[in-house]
Structure 1
């Protein structure tokens, strides 16, 4: 009886592990929204004459992930353009308003943990990859020509999938993106801005 119980328990555990693993060849698509929250100190321009503050923004996002091995996926994050107001402040407290839009596509390699021991079948995951951010439609209140160069940097990703159907989940996640852009005013280099945001999101994820 003990042997039979052991065999049954082992078989059950194997079935559970197989059930919770995401097999190679699986696709997932996610639709949701993410908020880009830049760090509080975004640097200075004109040799320290202007401090820089970049505000937050929330936009709809899409993700697609292909599993190249069991529980190991390659994910691409895409979004509609994020809009950011930028405040430039001099030593006397005078402010100049600027703004920009950007797209931050991010490609990550991710590992999804089997969740047989997690409550509610929650499936956590971690990832690391590369972010490419391109800026456009830059504006500055002085009417000068403002330009922000594109940025390439590392990105980290953590999150959990909470299933509510066999192939459907609710996702909560957070990313850190290394985003630094060189700034030009009327074609002249005036410094760089460190945005380095945390990106928080929720999404509906469908598995195929």
Structure 2
């Protein structure tokens, strides 16, 4: 009887593990908000101006398609992030600027689903590519000054945790690192590179289909 009970328990555990794995062909959609937190030192331009880019939070949405069990391809999108920029010369004089950007990010992710973790939480990791496009740049140096920031392409890393509260619904907390570097120019003259490279922290509601 003990052996039969052990066999039955093992079979049940295996069945549960298989059932919890996210199968190939599954879609998930995550809606939430993310905070873009640029690195503290954003570089020094050719004219000696140091650059400081502030953070911003905006609503985001992502869709993920599982190409294999527990392996998904995710695309992250958002409404434009707004960043104030402070340029400081060697004497401490400051010039304000600003920009908006969109950071679509495509990642391949592995979800640790089916491992019988406490509360059935589901960690995941991912790596991919980020494309950031800048627009509506402005520098407050008087009329006729044109600031431009070039688009950026870089690697992106992703870690997170899904906490299920229904069979197809979860609460997600996550963090991403994005390699974002942009060449700046003023009135067509090269100023140098601005290194934003932020950590991006977020929360979201996840629905599985």
Task: Pick the TM interval, shorter chain.
Answer: over 0.9
Give the match for residue 192 of structure 1.
Answer: 193
| Offset at residue 46 of structure 1 (A) | 2.1
Distance 1:2 1:154 in 2: 53
Cα RMSD, aligned residues only:
0.9
| Offset at residue 118 of structure 1 (A) | 1.5
The runs of 5 or more residues in structure 2 that have no matched partner are none
Asked if structure 1 preserves the Cα contact closer than 8 Å seen for 2:17 and 2:116, the reply is no
Distance 2:100 2:31 in 1: 21
Give the match for residue 71 of structure 1.
Answer: 70
Give the match for residue 132 of structure 1.
Answer: 131
| Offset at residue 119 of structure 1 (A) | 1.5
Give the match for residue 11 of structure 1.
Answer: 11
Asked if structure 2 preserves the Cα contact closer than 8 Å seen for 1:115 and 1:124, the reply is no
Structure 2 residue matching 1:88: 3-state secondary structure:
strand
The runs of 5 or more residues in structure 1 that have no matched partner are none
Runs of 4+ in 1 over 6 A off after TM superposition: none
Is 1:183 aligned with 2:184? yes
Give the match for residue 163 of structure 1.
Answer: 164
Q: Which moved more, 1:165-174 or 1:106-115?
A: 106-115
The count of aligned residue pairs is 207
| Offset at residue 82 of structure 1 (A) | 0.1
Give the match for residue 40 of structure 2.
Answer: 40
Distance 1:148 1:77 in 2: 22
Is 1:86 aligned with 2:85? yes
Distance 2:66 2:188 in 1: 44
Asked if structure 2 preserves the Cα contact closer than 8 Å seen for 1:16 and 1:116, the reply is no
Structure 1 residue matching 2:36: 3-state secondary structure:
strand
| Offset at residue 18 of structure 1 (A) | 1.3
With structure 1 as the length reference, what TM-score do the two structures score?
0.97
Is 1:31 aligned with 2:15? no
| Offset at residue 117 of structure 1 (A) | 2.8
Asked if structure 1 preserves the Cα contact closer than 8 Å seen for 2:170 and 2:206, the reply is yes
